[in-house]
Every structure is written in structure tokens, then in C-alpha cells.
């Protein structure tokens, strides 16, 4: 038997995914624990639920938190999209979708509108999502207060008491030093008026999409062993002062070099040959769609 034959062996009973693993790779006990923690996360928006992160055939820090959530909920009829920094074709995204496809038989897409389940790192797609979709974010550092407090025991107590004064002080000092809030990504938000939460390393551009969204957002940190969530129609407010407001990145005067978009989050690329600064849509699926029009 060749390697590719072995990898592509399908179940005899008509079930989806590979024959020699449980459906969706994880064993049932692991999936049940992750499912219980996902439910708690949804019931307590913004609160980080500890979970027993499992070993996967991917190194921790490469999206294992997101993968474990995806594997615990994915159905064979789902249509899966995986993106990394907005890109469907990066090594991380391609490997994750191939893995999930092999162990579940799920269909793959690059089209945000077509997808029912989207796993992502660093971006929320440009196109608005709907009630029938779930977005799973891979999170490296789930603790929003880690910048101001290194101890987990202390940050947990701060969350328990809703004592966020040091986070506000951090923003204040930032303003004193730079005359504005300089946090570029992992911008802290208040969820449901209670917990301060790290929205993962999405750009500020994507933060407003979290507020009162139609879509369920699930966050998984594999290395840090935390799951948290923002249910649909939940208030998500970035931290700001009345006279120093939260604002998104400014791309005024720029346009995507490929599709010409002026209303998307753009990545700055320096051309190797000419040394010129170029701008491209970070969401490649959306950019491709615009190019095909």
C-alpha cells in the first residue's frame, strides 16, 4: 500500500473520515470535555474556561486550541474555511484544513459566504458573517491582563473582582507617553459589560465586527489551555477614554494593488526589486472574489 492510499482510506460503513481514527481524530472522552468547556464559555461570555488541551499531530502554538474546538464540533456536511493572517493558502491554513478533511471528510472552501465553519488566525473575514456560521479563532495569549500582571493567580483574582484598574492605568500611561493608545493588536475589549477579554491578535480593524454580531465566536488557546467565547448579539466594547477614543487602522489614500479595494484591511508589502511600498488585501478570499467580478 502506498502512503497516499493509506491516508485516503475511507470508512466502509459510509461514515465520513478515516477508518483508523475515531471521527474527527480526538477520542470521545476528549471531545466531551472540550464540549463541556465550550458550553460554559458560551454561558459566561468573555470568561476563560480552563481545559485539558490534547496532543495533536501539530505542535502547540500552531493553532491546536482552535483545532480542538473545530474537531469537537465539526460535522461531515460542514463546509470549512481556514485562514491564517487572512490568507487561505498559507502553510498553517492549508495543513489544518487538510488534516480536518482527512479525519472528517468535510468539504473545504475559500469563500467566506459558502463556509459554515471558519477557523482563523489573526483575522475576521471582510465579508459579513451570518447566524448559520461559527468562527473559531486560534489564540496564542488568551489573558488580556498579562501585559500588566505576570501571575495567573493574580489575573484570575482581578477578573473575579472585575478589578481592571491596572488595565486602565496601562492605557493612561500609553496616552501620556505617546498621546494616543498605541495597542496595535490584541486590543482589550469588555464583553457583556463584565469581563475584559483578549480578542486574539486580530487587528483593531476587526474589533467592531465582534459587537452584536450574528455569528458565534469561539476562542481556543491550546498551549495556554483556555477556551472562551462571544455568543451572537453580545456587547463587545473596546476600552477607550472619552477624549481618547478607540479607532481602527487608517488606510486613507491606499488601495489594494490587486483588486483596488479601499474599504478592506491592507497589508504593506515592500517590493524586492523596486523597493516600492505596495498594499494588498489581507483577506485573500475576498480579494480573489473581487478580482473575478
- Residue of 3, 5, 20, 161 interacting with other proteins (CB under 8 A): 161
For 169, list phi and psi in degrees, rounded to 5: -65, -40
User: Which is nearer to other proteins, 31 or 54 (by Cβ)?
Assistant: 31
Q: Between 5 and 24, how does the x/- string for binding to other proteins read (CB under 8 A)?
A: --------x-x------xxx
Integer Cα distance of 293 and 282 in angstroms: 18
Choose, from 259, 260, 275, 291, the residue flagged as catalytic. 259
222 is catalytic: no
Closest CA to 130 of 118, 145, 121, 142: 118
Establish if 209 lies at the interface with other proteins (CB under 8 A): no
Q: Three cell numbers at 71?
A: 474537531
Binding to other proteins, residues 34-93 (CB under 8 A): 35-45, 47, 49-50, 72-76
61 is catalytic: no
For 130, list phi and psi in degrees, rounded to 5: -120, 180
260 is catalytic: no
206 contact partners, CB below 8 Å, separation of at least 6: 123, 124, 199, 265
291 is catalytic: no
> Which CB contacts under 8 angstroms, 24+ apart, belong to 29-34?
30/54, 30/68, 30/72, 31/71, 31/72, 34/68, 34/69, 34/72, 34/227
281 is catalytic: yes
User: Which is nearer to other proteins, 11 or 60 (by Cβ)?
Assistant: 11
User: Which is nearer to other proteins, 13 or 272 (by Cβ)?
Assistant: 13
| Active-site annotation, residues | 46, 256, 259, 281, 287
Q: Rule CB under 8 A: which residues touch other proteins?
A: 13, 15, 22-24, 28-29, 31-33, 35-45, 47, 49-50, 72-76, 131, 134, 156-157, 159-161, 192, 194-195, 216, 229, 231-235
Amino acid at each position: 500500500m502506498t502512503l497516499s492510499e493509506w491516508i485516503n482510506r475511507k470508512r466502509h460503513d459510509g461514515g465520513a473520515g478515516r477508518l483508523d481514527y475515531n471521527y474527527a481524530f480526538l477520542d470521545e472522552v476528549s471531545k466531551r470535555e472540550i464540549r463541556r468547556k465550550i458550553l460554559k464559555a458560551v454561558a459566561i461570555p468573555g470568561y476563560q474556561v480552563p481545559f485539558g488541551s490534547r496532543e495533536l499531530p501539530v505542535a502547540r502554538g500552531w493553532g491546536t486550541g482552535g483545532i480542538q474546538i473545530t474537531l469537537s464540533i465539526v460535522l461531515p456536511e460542514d463546509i470549512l474555511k481556514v485562514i491564517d493572517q487572512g490568507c487561505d493558502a498559507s502553510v498553517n491554513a492549508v495543513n489544518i484544513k487538510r488534516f480536518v478533511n482527512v479525519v472528517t471528510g468535510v468539504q473545504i472552501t475559500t469563500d467566506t459566504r459558502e463556509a459554515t465553519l471558519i477557523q482563523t488566525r489573526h483575522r475576521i473575514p471582510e465579508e459579513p458573517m451570518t447566524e448559520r456560521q461559527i468562527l473559531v479563532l486560534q489564540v496564542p495569549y488568551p489573558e488580556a491582563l498579562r501585559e500588566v500582571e505576570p501571575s495567573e493567580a493574580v489575573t484570575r483574582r482581578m477578573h473575579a473582582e472585575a478589578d481592571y484598574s491596572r488595565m486602565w492605568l496601562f492605557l493612561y500611561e500609553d496616552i501620556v507617553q505617546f498621546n494616543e493608545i498605541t495597542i496595535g493588536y490584541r486590543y482589550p475589549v469588555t464583553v457583556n459589560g463584565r469581563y475584559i477579554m483578549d480578542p486574539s491578535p486580530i487587528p483593531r480593524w476587526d474589533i467592531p465586527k465582534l459587537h452584536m454580531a450574528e455569528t458565534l465566536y469561539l476562542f481556543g488557546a491550546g498551549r495556554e489551555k483556555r477556551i472562551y467565547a462571544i455568543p451572537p448579539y453580545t456587547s463587545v466594547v473596546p476600552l477607550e477614554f472619552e477624549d481618547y477614543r478607540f479607532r481602527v487602522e487608517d488606510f486613507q489614500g491606499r488601495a489594494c494593488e490587486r483588486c483596488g479595494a479601499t474599504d478592506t484591511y491592507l497589508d504593506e508589502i515592500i517590493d524586492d526589486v523596486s523597493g516600492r511600498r505596495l498594499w494588498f488585501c489581507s483577506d485573500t478570499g475576498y480579494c480573489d472574489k473581487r478580482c473575478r467580478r
